[in-house]
């Protein structure tokens, strides 16, 4: 269900300490989110393209993942330019396209693509398990990390249960139609998934406390020292400083 | 006369809204005992194990383990360190991404350092013939492999007593033989639930059954062999 195809790579980006990547991605996101100056945004976009290239991400896979946000952006472009108040850019029949409206759409579009690329390159290049341990090292609360890792593990288990239930329905000739029987069957399916999931959670919790679990999460992962980490940190700090400078020099 | 390491006395338990599953049950386990438990489905065998481990609290009766009465949740922490429970469903036992992390989970919780835990985990996997499984993803293993890995996760804690809930279920004959070899090679006491008589006969010293919510110690089952005849009997062969 979750393929993590970007995590199996061997570019130099994959070798950078995951803690630096996560912190860098978050800092980048914060800076880009509050930037409205076009020079800054375009430089940010170039930076994220550079990050995506360094991580050697598969071009098609990137485009596939950008599809959903692009659909959202198209909706935005369809509505905002002529409903946002401001000085007129063009008139198309009854619709009045305003300059601030178009500017806002453009800013949002650039920010969206920029941050998606950055996160794909920096964060999606590690497995969810590594991400969980990284967040733990970055002092995120134990309970949150625990929830992330267990949710990830149990998505696959619940998917298996779902397939098991659907198979049981199919072999008894269930064909979905728009009738009460079908609706009731789907309701049972969802209900059973909840019940089974909660039962399983109870049993796994029992297994964990039988092996001494007491709420603290200890990870086995070691982050090996890599000299390129320094290059990465300097690069990120410099780029963010540049963006902030451009933004505040308005 | 060695005192029992596990001693249950007059245990009564019934699931909420249901009849009593365990009714004035008495049970004792001494050092070196290798007990087999065989009884029909629903007789309360798994419930018994869960009560010993403190996952369920009985309605009445006392649970004593390692010489002390165990009542509160904190009393059972020591019990869980020294008694290992192998669940009926191996999927309930495996929750870490990789095999090595799952097997090292127990030792890490016992307070060992990362390196010590990894060393113990590797040693346990090696003992079970599972080298090369360290980086395998737990939910992608086959049924038999999952069973052996979950046994590894319990053995890594080096328990004194093992409680095994139907360990031979859904295993092929060669994995079953491996399991029999492993159990006979371990130096600890165990209680084994199984429906398969010849699995029990090769591993357990005493076999008891459960009836009416109690363990029948008086009806001890005797292990014996039957003689039979068929063509080509002199040639070495095995009956499955």
- Confidence category of residue A250, pLDDT binned at 50, 70, 90: low
Q: Do B92 and A218 lie within an 8 Å CB cutoff?
A: no
Chain A partners within 8 Å of B93 (Cβ): 207
Binding-face residues of B in 58-117 toward A, CB within 8 A: 77, 80-81, 84-85, 87, 89, 91-93, 95-98, 100-101, 104-106, 108-110, 114, 117
How close, in Å, is residue B149 to chain A by CA atoms? 14
Nearest of B109, B77, B151, A207 to residue B65 by alpha carbon: B77
Tally C-beta pairs within 8 A across A and B: 63
Query: A206 vs A156, which has greater pLDDT?
Result: A206
Q: pLDDT tens digit string along B84-119?
A: 999 888 888 887 778 998 899 888 888 888 889 999
pLDDT confidence of residue A218: 66
pLDDT confidence of residue B155: 92
Q: What are the residue ranges in chain B where pLDDT is below 50?
A: 1
pLDDT confidence of residue A28: 93
Nearest of A235, A215, A216, A169 to residue A24 by alpha carbon: A235
Q: Is the pLDDT of residue A4 over 80?
A: no
A13-25 average pLDDT score: 89
Which long-range contacts link B19-23 to residues 24+ away (Cβ below 8 Å)? B20/B213, B21/B47, B21/B213, B22/B47, B22/B48, B22/B51, B22/B58, B22/B213, B22/B214, B23/B212, B23/B213, B23/B214
Q: Do B157 and A211 lie within an 8 Å CB cutoff?
A: yes
pLDDT confidence of residue B85: 92
Q: Can you read off the two tokens belonging to residue B145?
A: 């492999």
Chain B partners within 8 Å of A212 (Cβ): 77, 80-81, 106, 109-110, 157
pLDDT confidence of residue B222: 66
What is the Cα–Cα distance from B86 to B153, expressed in whole angstroms? 9
pLDDT confidence of residue B193: 92
Chain B partners within 8 Å of A153 (Cβ): 95-97, 139
* Structural contact between residues B64 and B8, judged by C-beta atoms closer than 8 angstroms: yes
What is the Cα–Cα distance from A6 to A55, expressed in whole angstroms? 9
Nearest of B22, B88, B87 to residue B58 by alpha carbon: B22
Q: Do B87 and A203 lie within an 8 Å CB cutoff?
A: yes
Q: Which residue of A has its CA nearest to B91?
A: A204
pLDDT confidence of residue A220: 66
Would you list the domain boundaries of chain A? 5-126+223-248, 140-210
pLDDT confidence of residue A49: 92
Q: Do A212 and B80 lie within an 8 Å CB cutoff?
A: yes
Q: Do A129 and B97 lie within an 8 Å CB cutoff?
A: yes
Domains of chain B: 6-95+160-221 (3.40.50.300)
Q: Does any CB of chain A come closer than 8 Å to the CB of residue B49?
A: no
Query: B117 vs A94, which has greater pLDDT?
Result: B117
Half-sphere exposure of A101 (CA within 13 A, CB side): 19
What is the Cα–Cα distance from A223 to B132, expressed in whole angstroms? 23
Q: In the 8-state DSSP scheme, what is residue A6?
A: G
Chain A partners within 8 Å of B77 (Cβ): 212
Q: pLDDT tens digit string along A116-157?
A: 999 999 999 888 878 888 888 888 888 888 888 878 877 877
Q: Can you read off the two tokens belonging to residue A150?
A: 């267990």
Chain A partners within 8 Å of B82 (Cβ): none
- Taking CA atoms, B82 is separated from A210, B5, B106, B162, in Å, by 10, 10, 11, 9
Helix intervals (H) in chain B: 45-52, 76-82, 99-109, 114-127, 143-155, 173-185, 197-203
Single pTM value for the model: 0.70
Indicate the SS3 state at residue A115.
helix
- Confidence category of residue A107, pLDDT binned at 50, 70, 90: very high
pLDDT confidence of residue B52: 93
Helix intervals (H) in chain A: 12-15, 18-33, 38-54, 59-83, 99-122, 128-137, 142-171, 180-210, 228-248
Q: Can you read off the two tokens belonging to residue B199?
A: 């699995």
Q: In the 8-state DSSP scheme, what is residue B3?
A: P
Q: Which member of A153, A207, A214 has the closest CB to residue B93?
A: A207
Q: Do B95 and A208 lie within an 8 Å CB cutoff?
A: yes
Q: Is the pLDDT of residue A217 over 80?
A: no
Chain A partners within 8 Å of B114 (Cβ): 218, 220, 222
Cβ neighbors of A203 (< 8 A, separation 6 or more) are B87, B89, B92
ipTM: 0.74
Mutate to test the interface with A, among B55, B120, B150 (most CBs of A within 10 A): B55
Q: Do B114 and A213 lie within an 8 Å CB cutoff?
A: no
What is the Cα–Cα distance from B74 to B56, expressed in whole angstroms? 14
How close, in Å, is residue B240 to chain A by CA atoms? 31
Nearest of A158, A138, A114 to residue A17 by alpha carbon: A138
């Amino acid at each position: 269900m979750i393929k993590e195809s970007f995590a199996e790579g061997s570019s130099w980006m994959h070798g950078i300490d995951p803690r630096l990547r996560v912190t860098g991605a978050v800092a980048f996101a914060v800076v880009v989110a509050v930037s409205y100056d076009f020079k800054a945004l375009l430089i940010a976009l170039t930076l994220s393209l550079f990050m995506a290239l360094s991580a050697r991400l598969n071009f098609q896979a990137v485009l596939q993942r950008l599809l959903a946000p692009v659909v959202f952006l198209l909706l935005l472009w369809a509505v905002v330019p002529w409903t946002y108040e401001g000085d007129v850019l063009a008139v198309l029949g009854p619709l009045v396209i305003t300059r601030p409206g178009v500017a806002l759409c453009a800013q949002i579009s650039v920010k969206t693509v920029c941050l998606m690329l950055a996160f794909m390159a920096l964060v999606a290049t590690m497995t969810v398990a590594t991400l969980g341990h990284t967040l733990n090292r970055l002092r995120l609360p134990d309970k949150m990390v625990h929830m992330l890792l267990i949710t990830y593990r149990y998505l696959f288990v619940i998917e298996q249960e779902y397939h098991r239930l659907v198979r049981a329905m199919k072999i008894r000739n269930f064909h979905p139609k728009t009738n009460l029987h079908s609706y009731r069957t789907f309701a049972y399916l969802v209900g059973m998934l909840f019940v089974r999931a909660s039962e399983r959670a109870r049993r796994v919790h029992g297994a964990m406390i039988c092996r001494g679990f007491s709420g603290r999460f200890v990870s086995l992962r070691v982050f090996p020292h890599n000299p390129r980490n320094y290059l990465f940190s300097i690069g990120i700090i410099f780029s963010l400083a540049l963006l902030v400078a451009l933004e505040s020099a308005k | 006369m060695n005192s029992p390491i596990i001693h249950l006395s007059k245990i009564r338990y019934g699931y909420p809204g249901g009849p009593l599953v365990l009714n004035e049950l008495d049970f004792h386990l001494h050092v070196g005992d290798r007990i087999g438990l065989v009884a029909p489905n629903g007789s309360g065998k798994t419930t018994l194990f869960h009560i010993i481990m403190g996952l369920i609290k009985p309605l009445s009766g006392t649970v004593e383990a390692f010489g002390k009465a165990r009542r509160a949740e904190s009393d059972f922490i020591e019990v869980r360190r020294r008694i290992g429970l192998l669940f009926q469903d191996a999927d309930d036992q495996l929750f870490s991404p990789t095999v090595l992390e799952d097997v090292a989970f127990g030792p890490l919780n016992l307070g060992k350092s990362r390196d010590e835990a990894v060393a113990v985990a590797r040693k346990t996997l090696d003992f079970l013939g599972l080298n090369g499984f360290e980086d395998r993803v737990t939910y992608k293993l086959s049924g038999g492999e999952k069973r052996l890995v979950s046994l590894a996760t319990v053995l890594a804690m080096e328990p004194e007593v093992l409680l095994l809930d139907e360990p031979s279920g859904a295993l092929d004959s060669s994995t079953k033989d491996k399991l029999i070899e492993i159990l006979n090679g371990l130096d600890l006491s165990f209680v084994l639930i199984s429906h398969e008589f010849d699995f029990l006969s090769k591993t357990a010293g005493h076999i008891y059954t459960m009836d009416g919510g109690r363990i029948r110690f008086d009806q001890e089952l005797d292990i014996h062999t039957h003689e039979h005849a068929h063509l080509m009997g002199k040639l070495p062969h095995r009956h499955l």
